Every structure is written in C-alpha cells, then in structure tokens.
C-alpha cells in the first residue's frame, strides 16, 4: 500500500440534537471545549502508525463542526500538518449547519485550509424542518449559503432528507428545485431512517408516524430525485450522492474504495492495513486516554475484505473493477463471487462493461437485498 491516507475528525457537538439523529453528539453549551480539543490534538500528536503519510482528504464531521469556535478547527489543522503531509490539492471538508456559521468563520476556515463545505440543508420547507427537529429555517439556509459563496467557498455540498413523515412529493420537489437553483457543486439525498434511540423512533413506536411515506411512495420519490438532478446536470455517482462533473466527494469515495483512513475523536473509525478499529464513544474515557480505549478492534480476514470490496464498491454507480479485485486479492472476482454476479445480472439488477460490474438504477434501489448475497453469514 502507498503512503496515502484519508483523515476523519469527529466534532461531537451540536446546539441541539435533531429528532432523527443517532450520531454521537453532545450539547455544545456548557461543554468544556478546551478539554475536548486538547484530547483530540493529543490523539493526533500521539499517532505513530500513519505518521508522515500524505493526506489526500480531511473531513470534519459531527455533530456540527461549525458550532464550535472556528479557531479550534484551525488548531486541529495545525496539529494535523505536523503529523501528515497535507497536499495543496487535498480535499478538506467541514460539515456545517445553516445558521451556525460564526462571523469569523469564513476567514479562519480559509486559513485552516478548508476548501469544501457540506451544508446540512435537509429541506427548504419549514414544516418539514420542524418535524425533523432542525433548529434552522429555509431562510437561514439561503443566508449561510450566500455568505459562504461570497467568502469564496465554491465547493459546497447540500444534504437533503427525503421520505420525511407528512412531506408530500410536491414539497420534496420544491426543496430539491430550490437547492438546484442555489447551484451547489454536490447534492446528497438520504431517505430518512428511523433509528432506535432517537425521539423520532419513540414517536414511531408510539404509533405517531402514521404519515410516514410507504415503500412505493419512497421509491417514486427516488425516481423523481434521480430525474430532477440528472436534468440539472448532476451526475449520480453513488446510491445517495450527486455531483457536478469532477466534484464527487473524494473523502467518501475513499471509504467506498477501501482506501486507508484514520479517524480521530470519540466513536471515530479507522482502517489501517488489515485492521479496523473504532474509538470509544464514551467522552470521559476518550478524554482520559485519547485513542487509547477502543470500542472495536478487528483484524479483517481476506474473505471479509473481499466482501467489503463488493458491498462498498457496488455503492458507487461505476461499480467494481475486475482488475482492482485481482490486484487486491490475487483471485479473479468471478472465482469468488461468480455465482452471485451471474444471478444478479440475470435478474436485471447488475450490468457489466469496461471491465467493471455495476448496479443499474433498479439494482441501486434494492442494493441491501443484493449486497447481502456477498456476505458469508
């Protein structure tokens, strides 16, 4: 393997948690941010295994990285630059929620080297935003977006959530059109997942989500989204991701292509060599021994790596490359997964071309069912 690496930084703070969210996050208010960032910087400082590598992508995720004073982001970047070679053309992303951009944000982020913003728009319909428990309004979205563009941030992703209870496909289309009109370089559309442990889940269990779209409505929404974005010049390159040409998120692609990555912060996962490990999600444990307590530490077998190659690689519309498989594992892809591939091709979900296997639109819609075929359980 080369000496490249992707870096993930977890910023587990939010102003308030959204009703659907089960990510690791704490209220930013009252939290001793200094102690957290000291721990985070210590974890970076003490990293040895991947030290000195070339970092192609850096991703600040959360939580809401934009809700902490921007200087913390700058400090983390400085710490990273001491440990890694962050190239000029590296993709450095920061997740941001509308309405949380501080006045000094644009300048400091620029200094820090942030060159891509992922904006959690989720909807341009204020009723839907409320239902999701978002703290911002459609007006905040436009304002934050304009501020970013004025400050020179041109590589911006907008996240959108579909299949929200109570939202009609007309509402969804209106949000989508509104986002397209803002002309971001990248759009992600996720259908809402009711995750256990969230207030939305409790509402669901209590029988409160009677207006949840059914499978057919969700499937119709997806087709509408694909068509709308295609017409606007956005290429679908992954199940939920669309971009203008050349603007695909390189950091996420690294995950799907099983490139090595190192995650810092509580709950952050890393893939280094054949080992995948995840930091503890317990904040106190993390602060006491940053990077020293793991929630998961797995040595992947070759079989597991081959399975991951399939179920991650096939998320991308271009699918998996036969030669890549051979180079990585020393086996022909058809020797390992020939039967499954044939079955899925025969049923009209998978196609083959230019030395690659990939799912068509029909296949991408039911990829979970299909990908399970590659798992040896």
Q: Is 286 in the site for another protein (CB under 8 A)?
A: no
CA distance 232 to 313: 26
Q: Which is nearer to another protein, 181 or 223 (CB)?
A: 223
CA distance 5 to 91: 12
- Burial pattern 343-357, b for ≥16 Cβ within 10 A else e, equals ebeeeebbeeeeebb
CA distance 211 to 164: 9
CA distance 132 to 374: 34
Q: Is 201 in the site for another protein (CB under 8 A)?
A: no
**Number of shown-chain residues binding another protein (CB under 8 A):** 45
Q: Is 239 in the site for another protein (CB under 8 A)?
A: yes
Q: Is 222 in the site for another protein (CB under 8 A)?
A: yes
Q: Which is nearer to another protein, 40 or 365 (CB)?
A: 365
Q: Is 339 in the site for another protein (CB under 8 A)?
A: no
Q: Is 240 in the site for another protein (CB under 8 A)?
A: yes
In 3D space, the residue among 279, 285, 253, 282 whose CA is nearest the CA of residue 47 turns out to be 279
Task: Classify residue 26 by burial, with Cβ atoms within 10 Å: 0-12, 13-18, 19+.
Answer: middle
Q: Which is nearer to another protein, 108 or 219 (CB)?
A: 219
What residue ranges in 143-260 does DSSP mark as E strands? Answer: 156-162, 186-191, 235-238, 241-243
Span interacting with another protein, options 69-77, 122-130, 151-159, 255-263, rule CB under 8 A:
255-263
Q: Is 252 in the site for another protein (CB under 8 A)?
A: yes
Nearest approach, Cβ of 70 to another protein (angstroms)? 22
Q: How many CB atoms are located within 10 Å of the residue 49 CB?
A: 11
Q: Which is nearer to another protein, 92 or 106 (CB)?
A: 92
Q: Which is nearer to another protein, 137 or 278 (CB)?
A: 278
C-beta of residue 328 within 8 angstroms of C-beta of residue 292: no
CA distance 205 to 120: 26
Q: Is 32 in the site for another protein (CB under 8 A)?
A: no
CA distance 270 to 278: 6
Q: Is 103 in the site for another protein (CB under 8 A)?
A: no
Q: Is 60 in the site for another protein (CB under 8 A)?
A: no
Residues 141-180, one symbol each (x = binds another protein by CB under 8 A, - = not), give ----------------------------------------
Q: Is 226 in the site for another protein (CB under 8 A)?
A: no
Q: Is 307 in the site for another protein (CB under 8 A)?
A: yes
User: Strands of 235-238's sheet, edge to edge?
Assistant: 235-238, 241-243, 186-191, 156-162, 116-122, 85-96, 54-62, 4-11, 261-264, 269-272, 275-279, 294-299
Q: Is 1 in the site for another protein (CB under 8 A)?
A: no
Q: Is 219 in the site for another protein (CB under 8 A)?
A: yes
- Of the candidate residues 138, 312, 317, 328, the single one contacting another protein (CB under 8 A): 312
Q: Is 107 in the site for another protein (CB under 8 A)?
A: no
Q: Is 117 in the site for another protein (CB under 8 A)?
A: no
Nearest approach, Cβ of 219 to another protein (angstroms)? 4
How many angstroms separate the first and last alpha carbons of the chain? Answer: 29
Nearest approach, Cβ of 226 to another protein (angstroms)? 12
CA distance 117 to 95: 6
C-beta of residue 10 within 8 angstroms of C-beta of residue 267: yes
Interacting residues of 215 by C-beta distance below 8 A, sequence separation 6+: none
Interface positions, 351-370, toward another protein (CB under 8 A)? 365-370
Q: Is 127 in the site for another protein (CB under 8 A)?
A: no
Binding residues for another protein, per CB under 8 A? 8, 59, 61, 190-191, 193, 215-216, 218-219, 222, 239-240, 252, 255-256, 261, 263, 268-271, 276, 278, 296, 298, 307-308, 311-312, 315, 347, 349, 365-375, 377
């Amino acid at each position: 393997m080369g000496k490249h690496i992707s870096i993930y930084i977890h910023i587990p703070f939010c102003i308030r948690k959204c009703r659907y969210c089960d990510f690791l996050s704490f209220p930013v208010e009252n939290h001793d941010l200094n102690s957290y960032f000291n721990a985070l910087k210590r974890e970076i400082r003490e990293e040895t295994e991947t030290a000195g590598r070339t970092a192609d992508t850096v991703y600040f995720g959360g939580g809401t990285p934009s809700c902490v004073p921007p200087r913390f982001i700058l400090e983390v970047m400085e710490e990273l630059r001491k440990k890694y070679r962050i190239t000029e053309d590296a993709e450095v992303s920061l997740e941001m929620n509308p309405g949380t951009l501080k006045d000094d944000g644009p300048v400091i982020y620029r200094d820090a080297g942030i060159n891509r913003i992922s904006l959690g728009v989720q909807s341009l319909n204020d009723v839907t935003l409320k239902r999701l428990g978002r703290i911002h309004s459609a007006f905040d979205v436009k304002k934050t977006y304009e501020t970013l563009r004025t400050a020179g941030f041109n590589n911006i992703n907008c996240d959108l959530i579909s299949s929200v209870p109570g939202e009609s496909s007309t509402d969804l289309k209106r949000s989508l059109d509104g986002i397209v009109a803002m002309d971001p370089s990248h759009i992600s559309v996720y259908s809402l997942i009711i995750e256990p442990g969230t207030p939305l889940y409790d509402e669901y269990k209590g029988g409160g989500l009677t207006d949840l779209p059914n499978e057919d409505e969700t499937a119709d929404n997806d087709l509408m989204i694909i068509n709308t974005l295609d017409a606007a010049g956005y290429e679908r390159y992954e199940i939920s991701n669309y971009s203008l040409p050349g603007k695909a998120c390189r950091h996420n692609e690294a995950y799907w292509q099983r490139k090595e990555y190192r995650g810092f912060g509580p709950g952050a996962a890393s893939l280094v060599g054949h080992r995948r490990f995840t930091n503890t999600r317990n904040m106190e444990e993390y602060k006491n021994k940053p990077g020293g307590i793991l929630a998961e530490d797995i040595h992947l077998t070759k079989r597991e790596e081959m399975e991951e190659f399939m179920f991650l690689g096939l998320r991308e519309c271009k699918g998996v490359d036969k030669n890549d498989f051979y180079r990585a594992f020393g086996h022909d892809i058809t020797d390992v997964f020939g039967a499954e591939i044939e079955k899925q091709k025969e049923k009209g979900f998978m196609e083959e071309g230019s030395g690659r296997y990939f799912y068509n639109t029909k296949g991408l819609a039911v990829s979970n069912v299909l990908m399970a075929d590659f798992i040896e359980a």
